[in-house]
Amino acid sequence: MADTISSAPQSFDRVRAVEWTKDRLSLLDQRLLPLREEYLTFDTVVGVAQAIRDMVVRGAPAIGIAAAYGVVLAARERYRRDAKTWVTAIEEDLALLNAARPTAVNLAWAIARMRRIIGAGINGDPTPVLLAEAQRIHAEDIAANHAMGRLGAELIAPGSSVLTHCNTGALATGGYGTALGVVRAGVAAGRIVHTYANETRPWLQGARLTAWELMQEGIPMTLIADGAGAYLMQQGKVQWVIVGADRVAANGDVANKIGTYMAALAARHHGVRFMVVAPTSTIDLDTPSGSAIPIEQRPESEVAAYGDRRVTPEGVAAWNPAFDITPAALIDALVTERGVVPAPDRAKIAALMENPR
């Protein structure tokens, strides 16, 4: 497999934020967008874990892919130090990666998949074998996103407008995107004529990243403040809200970027349909419901500032959960690479996961 993962040429599919090049992991530093496009390279697992924690890379699928490549770097270093003890020693590195961000289940999923390869036994240098698996995870994600894009777009009537929250595109995945993959496919098929994007405080993923990504692709979009979404729906300007997910519980509850629950409530009230787009790697059957999903609490300083500029009085208290839980009852369709689950519930998700394609 080539060093750089790509997909077959397709319209609206040019952005890649995670790449393996020249035996190192290369990440587009998403903290700097849209003002600067700068790639950082990593050749240690410590650096990759820090990049995940500091949101150089973000979005559940992209975090998982970056972690898989981090395992490759860890194995390479451990094997060079001691070829006899690397299998035991690497557990410390896997734990470091696993703790980087607790909510996105793709992180633990990717590490567990790499651990199975290690546990199956590798003769000699583990780097080529583990690199092949990491690249397989990366390529499978891109293929899944294209499949979800097509399936999700088929649910949308021609001429529709949609609202998105956070960034769920190529920047958040191996490529193409989950919810923005549906937008890409819908625009290409003439089903989506306009996309509105919530700014997504406090990290402004919508304002900084979704706006940048859609403008790179020439997709018509309008940015709105998070609090404007309900009024936008009341005005009849959107027919669907389309979001991604960081974890889907066994009963269909969804953890996603803070503000998703508010958008889902407004959508239900105004008769706007609500779509969650997530690969099956994001579904966690070991988590019975949304109440069991750990919610990452981030620094108060992120809420106290707007970008780099402080906007609150010194000493003010702030509550800054990175995610919220949208109950399954508010979701009209869960779109996965295996198919669409309308009105998801425990039985439907169990059936989906029992029937791999």
Which domains, ranges and CATH numbers included, belong to the chain?
18-144 (1.20.120.420), 149-354 (3.40.50.10470)
What mean pLDDT do residues 69-97 have?
Answer: 97
Query: Which pLDDT does position 11 carry in this prediction?
Result: 60
Rounded CA-CA distance 131/70 in Å is 10
Confidence of residue 15 (pLDDT cuts 50, 70, 90): confident
Catalytic center residues: 246
SS3 assignment for 83-145: CCCHHHHHHHHHHHHHCCCCCCHHHHHHHHHHHHHHHCCCCCCCHHHHHHHHHHHHHHHHHHH
Which residue shows structure tokens 């557990």? 91
Q: Does residue 306 surpass a pLDDT of 90? A: no
Q: Does residue 187 surpass a pLDDT of 70? A: yes
CB contact at 8 A, 243 and 234: no
CB contact at 8 A, 174 and 18: yes
Query: Which pLDDT does position 8 carry in this prediction?
Result: 38
Query: Which pLDDT does position 168 carry in this prediction?
Result: 96
Rounded CA-CA distance 74/93 in Å is 7
What mean pLDDT do residues 11-23 have?
Answer: 88
pTM of the predicted structure, to 2 decimals: 0.90
